[in-house]
Amino acid sequence: MRHAAPDRAATIQEGRAPGTPKSHLNKPPSSRVRVQATHWSARSLTAIEAPQPVAIDRKGTGMKLSQRRFRTWLRGKSNHSLGPDFTWLWLGSTVSGLGSVSAMAAFPLLALSMRDSPVLAGWVTTAGTLPPLLLQIPAGVLVERLSRWRVMQATLIVRLASALILLMAFLLWDEPIGVLLVAAAVEGTCTVFYGTAEITSVPRVVQHELLPVAIAKNEARSQGSLLLGRPLGGLLATALSWATPLLSLCTGLAAILSLQMVDKSPLGGSMGMKAGMRHALKEGLAALRRDRFLRNVLTICVVTNVLFQIIILLFVVLAREQHRSALFIGAILAVSGLGGLIGSSIAPRVFRIIRPRNVILFSVTAWLALTIVIASRANAWLMVTAWGGIGFVGANVNVALALYQASCIDTAILARVASAGTFVTRLSAAVGALCAGYIVSSYGPARSAGWVLVVMIVLTGLVLVHRIFLPPEPGTECLVSRPHPREPETAWEPQPAGAGRHL
């Protein structure tokens, strides 16, 4: 039961928790009072038990758990470890992601080295991107039906077998084109299933208050894999044809061994097998459509993905006009990945400064300022720096979106919602890449940059109007997990089985 403020103050001065009898202080340390803090979430007020018992002595030197958590949040780091399960899962995903990105970057280059045909390289690229795009939403349903640990293990085994077959094909034949096409499709499909299972596993192996740190580390890992994997794949493809499947073989084996160290019990399926596939898909899409924050973020991501694909092509065209080398073009594109790596690493501290409901407005405003720098074409180095800033802001948006989904979406439909969101963003990037060529060739680099700037100004204006005249999205407080300023604390004593606990 709750205690009045005067009684609470008196008991804390005396060195005991509210509701604890004085005689309880004379008991041995093993039976002392444990402090239990409550935590506000978007759905309900739930109780989170302290990881370690906190003994309150007569001198009142014990610090309140909520105060310690709040000070930890202010420092932007946690005194508690993310746990061995997350560590092993993160290590396995890092190794697996590096091998997958390297392979997807190397496959088109290997096709070019075989036949010197851009058409064949395009078919290999399509084989690696089209099946994953079509299977993105069904992957969320299957991940919720099955054990997430088994899904990740199965995809790693399939990728390992595919890499072994491709390695043998390169050693036995000169041009294993068919095997390369199948390997690209298998690689892309396994990446979708593994990624969906891994993303929805993080909230199950990490404490709720440590989710911002865990998700930021996951985003940093993804950005680092893109930053290092693409040049590594190009280097291996130009050096030895069989080096790429050999790397995939080694990384897949290391990821399997790392996954063996993760506890399987919290990663089971959350949906029964009775629900039909069509009903499950409709339920996930309906949940995505009802959530106003997710709708707003995904709409902004769709528009900006198209605009950023145009900017990428503008960089390539301008570099070719200035007779820059291919290495210079690759370095420009890599700057965005470097900015994303830095942005995801400090995302929890950024969310500490910016209120959750202002994340969207801050991101779009920053993108507008950076787009102005790029569209002005005043200085090449300023343009490259601005492109890195776009990656920095984009990583923070990715972390905010993943954190909101992990904190505020029901775990029973989390995989379906995350898969639907990923499908929308990837489809918009593919459509943007297709349209960018027509836009730049029709209007030229200068007018295309101007149109990109105009669309970005309109988008920023709409977000600003939405922020001023509409109420904040419900549940955005989940973006930062911190104790509520009025968070009550209560002490409790061990009770017999079946006895109720009153806060």
pLDDT in tens, the chain (503 residues): 444 444 444 444 444 444 444 444 444 443 333 333 333 333 333 333 434 444 444 444 444 444 444 444 434 444 457 788 888 999 999 999 999 988 888 888 888 888 777 778 778 888 888 888 888 888 888 888 888 899 999 999 999 999 999 999 988 887 888 888 999 999 989 999 998 888 888 888 888 778 888 888 888 888 888 888 888 887 888 778 888 889 999 999 999 999 999 888 777 766 554 556 677 777 777 887 888 888 888 899 999 999 998 888 888 788 777 777 666 766 777 788 889 889 888 888 887 787 766 788 889 999 999 999 988 877 778 888 899 999 999 988 888 888 888 878 877 788 888 888 888 888 888 888 888 888 888 888 888 888 999 999 999 999 888 887 766 665 555 554 443 333 333 332 333 333 333 33
Question: Up-side HSE of residue 448: CA atoms within 13 Å toward CB?
Answer: 23
Q: How far is C-alpha 456 from the chain's CA centre?
A: 24
Residue 353 CB coordination number (10 Å): 9
Q: Which of 462, 448, 466 is nearest to 307 (CA)?
A: 448
d(CA 137, CA 85): 27
* Residue 62 DSSP code: P
Domains of the chain, with CATH numbers?
Answer: 5-77 (no CATH), 84-273 (1.20.1250.20), 275-472 (1.20.1250.20)
pLDDT of res. 478? 54
Residues 97 and 229 sit within 8 Å (Cβ to Cβ): yes
> What is the value of pTM for the model shown?
0.70
pLDDT of res. 477? 53
Q: Which of 268, 129, 201 is nearest to 405 (CA)?
A: 201
Q: Which CA distances in Å does 391 have to 343, 395, 423? A: 8, 6, 20
Q: Which CA distances in Å does 223 have to 39, 68, 166, 192, 351? A: 31, 32, 27, 16, 19
d(CA 209, CA 473): 21
Instruction: Kindly state the tokens that stand for 434.
Output: 């297709």
Q: Count Cβ atoms within 10 A of the Cβ of residue 13 and give its class: 0-12 exposed, 13-18 middle, 19 or more buried.
A: exposed
Cβ partners under 8 Å of residue 419, min gap 6? 136, 137, 138, 139, 140, 141, 143, 196, 284
d(CA 398, CA 217): 12
